[in-house]
Amino acid sequence: MLANLNGWHLVIILVVILLLFGATRLPALSKSLGQSMRIFRSETKAMQKEDAAAEAPEQATPEVVKPSATP
C-alpha cells in the first residue's frame, strides 16, 4: 500500500495535514507525540527488566557452617 507512494503523494498528504490541523497546532501535536513515545519506550523497558528479573534464577548463597569444637 505505501510502496506505491512517491514524493508528490507525500507532499500532498503533508499539505492536507497542515490544512486540517493548522500551522500553530502542529508543534504542540508533535511535542505530545514525542512525549508519548518516550513514555511508551520507558514503560516497555521497565517491563522487560521486570520479566528478566523474574526469569533469572535466584542464586543461593552458601551458608558458612562453623564446626563445633568438642573439648
Mean pLDDT of 21-42: 90
* Within a domain: 10: no
* Within a domain: 37: yes
* Within a domain: 30: yes
* Within a domain: 49: yes
* Within a domain: 62: no
* Within a domain: 47: yes
- Model pTM score: 0.50
pLDDT band at 48 (very low <50, low <70, confident <90, very high): very high
Report residue 32 as a C-alpha cell: 505530545
* Within a domain: 33: yes
Domain enclosing residue 35, as ranges: 26-53
Are the C-beta atoms of 29 and 21 separated by less than 8 Å? yes
Question: What is the three-state SS of the chain?
Answer: CHHHCCHHHHHHHHHHHHHHHCCCCHHHHHHHHHHHHHHHHHHHHHHHHHHHHHHCCCCCCCCCCCCCCCC
